[in-house]
Amino acid sequence: MRHASRRTGLWWSLALVGLFGGAFAIAGLFAALPAPAVGGTCGPGKLSESAVVAFFDPDSIGAGSEPAATTTANALSRADWMAFVGECQASADSRVLSTFAILVLSIVVALLGIWLAVRATRAPIT
């Protein structure tokens, strides 16, 4: 009987690790994005916004309106603007996609652990 309870504890531990991974992934979605290398923040204010907001609402990145490329000076400011927006959006995209992968893997691990633990407690030990 001791062997079965140890195995069941292992399966419940697997479920807890999966739940922890899911919480980690969800927290990653709502953490602020890092500041881009070109300066500023990836948000409308003085702080960067969360990855999930920037991913689903790219217009919320606080870069202002796109400058027209009519003169050389405007072309340079437009290139800076595009680099800023591109870096913020790439950061948001990579954070959302990586946390989504972690979330899916965590859900699979948690469900597998729960299924194995329930199955182990119901199955007769021979």
Residue 35 structural domain: 2-122
Q: Which two tokens stand for residue 4?
A: 């079965």
Question: For 97-113, how does the pLDDT look when each residue is reduced to its tens digit (9 = 90+)?
Answer: 999 999 999 999 999 98
> What's the chain's average pLDDT?
80
The answer to whether the CB of 36 falls within 8 A of the CB of 88 is yes
Residue 25 has a pLDDT of 92
What total of structural domains would you count in the chain? 1
pLDDT tops 50 at residue 1: no
Is the pTM higher than 0.85? no
pLDDT tops 50 at residue 92: yes
The answer to whether the CB of 14 falls within 8 A of the CB of 113 is yes
Question: For 22-80, how does the pLDDT look when each residue is reduced to its tens digit (9 = 90+)?
Answer: 999 999 988 888 877 777 777 777 778 888 888 887 777 765 556 666 666 677 777 77
How far apart CA 74 and CA 72 sit, in angstroms, is 5
Measure Cα distances from 110 to 8, 66, 67, 116 in Å: 14, 45, 49, 10
Question: Which residues, in sequence order, are bridge partners of residue 32?
Answer: 50
Residue 67 has a pLDDT of 60
The answer to whether the CB of 74 falls within 8 A of the CB of 68 is yes
